Amino acid sequence: MDYSHIPVLANEVVEGLDPKPGKVFIDGTLGGAGHTRLLLEKGAQVYGIDQDPFVTSRTPELPGLTVLKGNYRDMVELMQETGISQVDGILLDIGVSSFQLDDASRGFSYHEDAPLDMRMSQEGLSAYEVINGYDPEEIAAILYEYAEERHSRRIARYIVEARQKKPIETTTELAALIKRAYPGQHARGIHPARRSFQALRIHVNDELGALKDGLQAAKTLIEPGGRLAVISFHSLEDRIVKQFVKGNNGFKPLTKRPVEATEEELEHNPRSRSAKLRVAERTEEDQE
């Protein structure tokens, strides 16, 4: 499989991070290395981090790139192993990668039949364990908290009733079950399972917890005058980034509002529709 992808908000990321020869950056969510390649082209050195073993085992050798396997929430520890304690900038492109969505076997998509997995690291808790093991109240809470699914309790009830007969094993089984649980009509073109799958993915990978930890790690690693750029695809993620940057955490926001894709980019890359970029500069010290 070709795991490269079109980097979202590419020009805006490069402008925000201001890469130059001699500068050192971390791409905490390496993925297809789209953004990393742009930083390397400007002469920067990049440490690319990814928890997905598919990525770290298949990323091509690129001059100036060092690949590290792990979760970006552990950036400080990962960089200690390299001997680097301070960097000029960090990029976090949050969420699921295009190649993870396109690989049906990973279980992220409700369109393709696959085992219920959704683990980016391919380790730890899976969606199968959540759907077949959690109490209905826990399932409903996940769907509501991470996707604002207004029918969360009804969906959870349908899930528990179905799994009493047999385990729910595949993505299409779950998607069909959620569709049956949905009362009345749903928005045209939007599958009723979309929100639930998003919520499960966020929970399984502890994405919001990782983001909070990653922002704190960035505070430790970025030297004064360095830049932090975060691309989010979900309102909960963007809210966390906004509050962190504006919360006297030693960063000065360089984007008053989140930067979004232009109409031209949307034509070439529809997956950039929900992307929001925030850029901030590390200050000398935390603001009191």
- Does the annotation place 100 within a ligand binding site? yes
- Does the annotation place 50 within a ligand binding site? yes
Query: What residues contact residue 52 under an 8 Å CB cut-off, 6+ apart?
Result: 97, 100, 120, 121, 122
Question: Residue 115: beta bridge partners?
Answer: 170
Of 10, 99, 103, the closest CA to residue 55 belongs to 99
What's the half-sphere exposure (Cβ side, CA atoms, 13 Å) at 97?
Answer: 27
State both tokens at 24: 């050192």
| Torsion angle in degrees (nearest 10) through CA of 232, 234, 240, 244 | 30
- Does the annotation place 35 within a ligand binding site? yes
Rg (CA), the chain: 20
In the annotated binding site for S-adenosyl-L-methionine, the residues are 33-35, 50, 72, 93, 100
In the annotated binding site, the residues are 33-35, 50, 72, 93, 100
